[in-house]
Amino acid sequence: MHDALLRWFDANARDLPWRAADRTPWGVLVSEVMLQQTPVARVEPVWRTWMDRWPTPPHLATATAAEVLRDWGRLGYPRRALRLLDSARAITDLHAGQVPDDEAALRALPGIGAYTAAAVRAFAFDRRSLVLDTNVRRVLSRSVAGRALPPPSQTVAEERAAAALLPDDGPAAARWSLALMELGALVCTARDPHCGSCPLRAGCAWLDAGSPPDEHAARRRTQAWTGTDRQARGQVLAALRAADGPVPTADLVWPDREQLGRCIATLAADGLVEPVQLPDGRPGVQLPDGRPDELRPGVRLPGAPSADGRSE
């Protein structure tokens, strides 16, 4: 299984900048945050813009929240942009501007969870760590467990099975994880796996079992988009990104005004917008200023001084 997959990876891996020989831990961290629930094709141009403008954590640490939200563009889930900004400030303050390679230090950064910490350790530092993203879970679910798709929530059994296949050597483990990810993205895709061109087809448990259907189909959520709060929030942010300053609330176009008001309130609670009063007295909304000496509301660095010196 390993030889077949790694040979395929050598011949088919995409040339992505966060995997290049000159990649930096910061570039890897930014890519991993951007790639959460967002496809490579949408991430790559934004990642290049970010890395040109903010090539290191200290560069990003000086940005304002409005700047990072503008450059985040339409990647979606924009709280990730603010978390990256907070991480950059924390890395600058607490780690002399260098992304740490220690799991506990990585997980203490704002918005960095178990998966992202494992991915940064593997892909930036060649450490042996278990990287289980959606693509890896799907490939292992089919090829090893014989299931159409993995369970909706990650299980201990999956982690054990994946760990058993992970090479002992750090760089080899990182390459193995990348190869599984790439196979899931390009060949063993969710809806239409290209089994005829798959390097794992000879021993694939799902194919051997006759390609049974997804046993968890009824539990999977399908996320609607049109008319949702997520769509309304995205429209508000798009309007603010396109404007030079505050926008009158009345000028924001959305059919359900009550829903619009609720979404502005949740965006403000998330630190993504600021309600303001315009000079003519009308209510308005703007991107947050978020000066470099501020961490987002709710961001705490346990046991460490914050950017402004308070102990949090």
Positions marked catalytic = 32
CB 85 within 8 A of CB 295: no
Q: Which of 121, 142, 233, 296 binds ligand SF4 (CB under 6 A)?
A: 142
Q: Which of 128, 137, 201, 233 binds ligand SF4 (CB under 6 A)?
A: 201
Stretch that binds ligand SF4, among 52-60, 101-109, 192-200, 237-245 (CB under 6 A): 192-200
DSSP secondary-structure letter at 284?
E
Instruction: Give the pair of three-digit tokens for residue 63.
Output: 């940005």
CB 66 within 8 A of CB 290: yes
Q: Which of 116, 129, 141, 143 binds ligand SF4 (CB under 6 A)?
A: 143
Nearer to ligand SF4, 26 or 206 (CB): 206
Minimum gap (Å) between residue 11 Cβ and ligand SF4 = 15
Minimum gap (Å) between residue 184 Cβ and ligand SF4 = 8
Minimum gap (Å) between residue 10 Cβ and ligand SF4 = 17
Distances (CA, A) of 113 to 14, 108, 200: 26, 8, 30
| 193 is a site residue for ligand SF4 (CB under 6 A) | yes
Number of residues that bind ligand SF4 (CB under 6 A): 13
Minimum gap (Å) between residue 139 Cβ and ligand SF4 = 6
Burial label, 270 (beta-carbon count in 10 A; 0-12, 13-18, 19+): middle
Nearer to ligand SF4, 157 or 190 (CB): 190
- Per residue in 54-80, is it b (16+ CB within 10 Å) or e — as a string? bebbbbbbebbbbbbbbbbbebbebeb
Nearer to ligand SF4, 185 or 268 (CB): 185
Minimum gap (Å) between residue 134 Cβ and ligand SF4 = 14
DSSP secondary-structure letter at 109?
S
Minimum gap (Å) between residue 161 Cβ and ligand SF4 = 14
Residue with structure tokens 């009063």? 277
Stretch that binds ligand SF4, among 60-68, 149-157, 159-167, 200-208 (CB under 6 A): 200-208
Instruction: Give the pair of three-digit tokens for residue 128.
Output: 């042996």
Stretch that binds ligand SF4, among 38-46, 75-83, 203-211, 230-238 (CB under 6 A): 203-211
| β partners of residue 275 | 285
| 100 is a site residue for ligand SF4 (CB under 6 A) | no
| 206 is a site residue for ligand SF4 (CB under 6 A) | yes
Stretch that binds ligand SF4, among 61-69, 87-95, 135-143, 172-180 (CB under 6 A): 135-143
Largest CA distance in the chain: 71
The contact set with ligand SF4 (CB under 6 A) reads 139, 142-143, 187-188, 193, 195, 198, 200-201, 204, 206-207
